[in-house]
Amino acid sequence: MLGIGGATVLVGLPPAVLVGLPPAVLVGLPPAGARARVDPFALVDGERRILASNDGSVRPALDVPLFADLCAAGRLRIDELITDRRPLGQVEAALDDLASGGAIRTILDPTNL
């Protein structure tokens, strides 16, 4: 299992200055046009990195079989991550629930309109 020994996580906001950090992990999307100032000397001198992630990363050829194996072994309980199931025809209501925080992950069933 991979991990980060120490990190500063900046979610959706442009950092003013990134200095003396372990990896800076930028998660999510800042507003369009947002800028961040970085001291390039601090990056190079400290051999530091800036990482970015927008909803995570996926390597389908590796991750899908791994997730399938974890599910089959009972180590990844997908059903617990699903908060609602709706017919595809209720996509607008599902998006409203998501926006209001009433649901986190909804399965839309295309066979049930």
Condensed to tens digits (0 to 9), the pLDDT of residues 37-93 reads: 777 887 788 777 777 766 667 788 898 999 999 999 999 988 888 999 999 999 999
Q: Give the side-chain half-sphere CA count within 13 A for 77.
A: 2
**How far apart, in whole angstroms, are the C-alpha atoms of residue 111 and residue 85?**
12
Q: Does 101 lie in the same domain as 67?
A: yes
Do 79 and 49 share a domain, yes or no? no
What's the pLDDT score for residue 45? 82
Per-residue pLDDT at 28: 66
Instruction: State the pLDDT at residue 66.
Output: 93
41 and 64: one domain?
no
Judge if pTM exceeds 0.85: no
The two tokens of residue 30 are: 């800042």
Average confidence score pLDDT of the chain = 77
Parent domain of 70: 60-109
Distance in angstroms (rounded) separating the CA atoms of residues 85 and 94: 9
At residue 21 the predicted structure's pLDDT band, cuts being 50, 70 and 90, is low
SS3 track for the chain: CCCCCCCEEEECCCCCEECCCCCEEEECCCCCCCCCEECHHHHHHCCCCEEEECCCCCCHHHHHHHHHHHHHCCCCCHHHHCCEEEEHHHHHHHHHHHHHCCCCCEEEECCCC
For residue 13, is it within any domain?
Answer: yes
Verify that 69 and 29 share a domain, yes or no: no
Residues 65 and 44 in one domain: no
pLDDT at 17 over 70: no
